[in-house]
Structures are given as structure tokens and as C-alpha cells.
Structure 1
Amino acid sequence: MSIDPPVTHVLFDMDGLLLDTEAVYTKVTNDIVSRYGKTYDWDLKSKMMGMKERDAGELLVRTLGIPMTVDEYLAERNAGHEALFPHCRPLPGVMKLVSHLKKHNIPIAVATRSHRSAFELKALGNPLVDPRSCLVFEDSNPGVLAGLNAGMSVVWIPDPNLKTDDPTLGERVSDVLGSMEEFQPEKYGLPPYE
């Protein structure tokens, strides 16, 4: 498979794709809700992924019926994240690819929706002329859909616990991989690994 035009920019979703943060999100929320005899499972987590912080908090509090306000939940959750995020490590294959792209002067951007009400994208001083020349790495269904809707090429590295309501999603992306280690840059017009 060849991408036309060739990739000139790469966009990474940070959480769960570059850094092993998904375990932190799950642990912190489970620690909070378990005090009330509740469990934060993948069914609820998948509904919350991609939502704005407050909307996700409201869904969690309402669905699990925990006796906390949304503000109380978010304050405790954010404090737990701040304590654990500094210990997150890059996922397999990430450092190899990021170093490779940097070596070949391929502009890289990182996107995240965590703790933000708006999605920000910066192409690091190199304007993106054609969205089709931007390769997006995503793990969440909403992120994949956002990349596709923007007209970008999407490499989907789904979390094995995450289910999708769209059985055609895998057919609509450029590639579906088990991890970043499986990525082959030359398939996208990027310099091959040495």
C-alpha cells in the first residue's frame, strides 16, 4: 500500500499510544469508585473515552451512582493522575519511531484531550498544506474518527480491551497494528528504518 501524497507530518495521540497512561486512568478511577463498592469497567471506560473531562465525569458519577459531586470526583482523580503520571513510560516502539522521525526532520505533533476542553494541534512551525499528508497514530475510536473526518491517514493501534460500535472502522483506516513496533515507515513514503 502506498499513500499519495507521501506523509510529511506525523500526529501522535499521547495517552495510551505514546505513553502507558491508560493503566493510570483505570487505577485512579477504580481506587475512587471501589470505596463505594463500584467498578470502573471497560464498558464504561469506552463510553467516556474522547469525551470532555466534565462530561466524562458526569457520566461516571451518574452511571455508577457514587455519592460524590462531579467536581469532587475530578479533583480527586486529577490529584491521583498528577501523582502517577511522572512514572509513565513510553510504549514499545515509540522511542524508535520518534527518534527516527526526528533524525529525518519529519515534523511531529502530539495531541491530547486530557484535562482540556479543546483539542489543540500544532504542526511545529511547518504548516500542513494537505491533510492527506499527515499520518495520525490513534488508539481510541473517537480519535480514529476525528483523523478520518479531517481527511488524514490513520494508523489505528487499538487497545485490545476496547470494543467498537463500527465494524467497518478497521477497513477505513490506513493500517491496524498491534503495537508501534509493527509500523513500517516506508509504506507511507517515510525513510525506512536503518
Structure 2
Amino acid sequence: MTVTIERPKIRACIFDMDGLLINSEEIYTDVTNGVLKDHGKPILPWSVKADLQGRPGTESAARFLEWSQLPYTPEELYAIFTERLKPRWKNTAPMPGAVELLQNLKQKGVPIALATSSYKANYLLKSAHLDHLFGLFNEANKVMGDDSRIPKGRGKPEPDIWLVALATINANLPDHMEPIKPEECLIFEDGIPGVIGAKKAGCQVVWVPDPNILNVFADTKHEIVGEWGEILPSLDALDFAKYGL
């Protein structure tokens, strides 16, 4: 007999950024395909794209080079991407339902945090014109990929960034409130490495993948999110009541 453990009520929410809150993954894909075209290579397959999403910059570059065999070191390639991407970040825009979801959580008094693998310099470029979105997060609850509290080599798919973000929430709870446990935290992600890290952290997870990636992993999608995971087509499809929100 299979025993289903009831999900704990959600007390906090943590959000990835790229491809989840803003359309930056589209920009990454466009620039990446431009670099590939310069070297006479085919465009980036979605199966490879899925493995790169959410990983720290040079690690993502190293994995990309394993596939593409371009004549660069990870550091050289990361520098090339950084320069090509820099003028494009002014064009980032919120994903459907992102602003509304964050506003609703704030109105309900649900603590929220941001946990992005983007380094701080890139985060600032991507978010400078989107204060109506990123201004909904307290500064103390924004964790970037180069945060000193994340040990080197422990980016997504490891759980560290999620646990650091949760710690920032717990550090600012009123004295009378019990600390929020990982299983009481709902993580929102579009990338598979981030979903894996969320599960390792012991959190519940909502996966909002690009439809092309979901199509590639159609046969294993339920294994990816796990028992305490859900797949949504967009952030505006969240059922608040399901999570006790």
C-alpha cells in the first residue's frame, strides 16, 4: 500500500529569476545561437539548453563547450557572452503573471526571497528598469550567484542557494514566529538544475518550464518535479488554496 504524506502548509516562497520572473532566457538563447552561427555550428538544442539553465556562469560555459567544442576556455567564452549580453539586458521584461503573483504574496503577508545564479553585476543590469517587479523583494532577501555565503562549486543543482535564501527570510521573522522549515517553503523555478536543487533542499517546488524543454522531457517530467512538485504553464496559473496561501 502506498502512503502519501500530506504536504505541509506553505509559509514562504522563493523565486528563481532568469526565465521565470523575466524573459532573459530568450535573450541568452539568441546570443548563444549567434555565437554558434559565427563558428558555423548548429543552433543550441533544447536538451542542452535545459542542462545549462540556472547554473553559475563559468560552469554553464564549461558544459556548453563540452557540447559545442568551440575554441575557448570557459572563462574566455563567459567573457564573450557577457559583452554580447550587456546591451541586451535593458530589454528584459516580466514573464506573464510574475508581478501579480509577487504582489498577491506580499498582500497576504507571505515572505518572499529571490535566489538567482546570475552574478550581482548582471542582476543589476537585468533589473535596473524593472523596479515594479524587483522592488517587491526586500534587499536582504535577494541572493545572487556570487554571494559569499554560497561555497564555491555549490551553485544549482546543489541546494545551497535555496537554503541561504530561506535563512534570509528566517533572519527577519518576528521573534514570536517559529523558523520556517524547508518543507514549508515553495520554490519557483523554470530550470531543471534549480528544481533538482530545490528537492535536495527539502522544499516543495513549482516548475514553470519553457514549453520546448517540457516537450523534450515529457516522459520524465513527473520524476523531475517529484512527489512534492507541480508543473505549471505560467506563474498566473498558481492555485493559492492548494498550498494554504
TM-score if structure 2 supplies the norm length? 0.69
Secondary structure class of the residue paired with 2:109: coil
Question: Partner of 2:131 in structure 1?
Answer: none
Specify which of 164, 181, 188 is matched with residue 243 of structure 2.
188
Question: Partner of 1:172 in structure 2?
Answer: 227
Assess, with a 3 A threshold, how the Cα gap between structure 1 residues 72 and 90 changes in structure 2: closer, same or farther: same
- Relative to total residues, which structure has the larger helix share, 1 or 2? 2
Question: Partner of 1:141 in structure 2?
Answer: 192
CA deviation string 1:116-135 (max 9, x = no partner) = 35435232723843111111
Specify which of 3, 15, 18 is matched with residue 15 of structure 1.
18
CA deviation string 1:96-136 (max 9, x = no partner) = 11111111221110111123354352327238431111111
Take 1:62 and 1:150, find their aligned partners in 2: how far apart are those partners?
Answer: 28
Q: Is the 1:25–1:81 contact (alpha carbons within 8 Å) kept by the matching residues of 2?
A: yes
Secondary structure class of the residue paired with 1:79: helix
Question: Partner of 1:125 in structure 2?
Answer: 172
Considering Cα pairs closer than 8 Å and 6+ residues apart, tell me whether 1 or 2 has the greater RCO. 1
User: Following TM superposition, by how much is the alpha carbon of 1:65 offset from its aligned partner in structure 2, in angstroms?
Assistant: 2.0
Instruction: State the superposition RMSD in angstroms.
Output: 2.3
Specify which of 35, 40, 47 is matched with residue 38 of structure 2.
35
Segment drifting more, 161-170 vs 14-23 = 161-170
Segment drifting more, 135-144 vs 124-133 = 124-133
Q: Is the 1:156–1:173 contact (alpha carbons within 8 Å) kept by the matching residues of 2?
A: no
Specify which of 37, 45, 49 is matched with residue 45 of structure 1.
49
Q: Is the 2:31–2:85 contact (alpha carbons within 8 Å) kept by the matching residues of 1?
A: yes
Take 2:118 and 2:19, find their aligned partners in 1: how far apart are those partners?
Answer: 11
Q: Is the 2:54–2:116 contact (alpha carbons within 8 Å) kept by the matching residues of 1?
A: no
Q: Report percent identity of matched pairs.
A: 32
Q: Is the 2:96–2:234 contact (alpha carbons within 8 Å) kept by the matching residues of 1?
A: yes
CA deviation string 1:60-80 (max 9, x = no partner) = 223212223322211120122
Take 2:95 and 2:38, find their aligned partners in 1: how far apart are those partners?
Answer: 30
Question: Partner of 1:96 in structure 2?
Answer: 100
User: Following TM superposition, by how much is the alpha carbon of 1:154 offset from its aligned partner in structure 2, in angstroms?
Assistant: 1.0
Unpaired runs of 5+ in structure 1? none
TM-score if structure 1 supplies the norm length? 0.85
User: Following TM superposition, by how much is the alpha carbon of 1:171 offset from its aligned partner in structure 2, in angstroms?
Assistant: 4.8
Assess, with a 3 A threshold, how the Cα gap between structure 1 residues 63 and 85 changes in structure 2: closer, same or farther: same
Alignment of 1:48-63 (within 5 A): 48-63=52-67
Letter in 2 for 1:18: L
Take 2:179 and 2:61, find their aligned partners in 1: how far apart are those partners?
Answer: 34
Q: Is the 1:9–1:128 contact (alpha carbons within 8 Å) kept by the matching residues of 2?
A: no
Q: Is the 1:128–1:134 contact (alpha carbons within 8 Å) kept by the matching residues of 2?
A: no
User: Following TM superposition, by how much is the alpha carbon of 1:51 offset from its aligned partner in structure 2, in angstroms?
Assistant: 3.2
Secondary structure class of the residue paired with 1:175: strand
Aligned length: 189
Unpaired runs of 5+ in structure 2? 1-5, 120-144, 151-160
Letter in 2 for 1:90: P
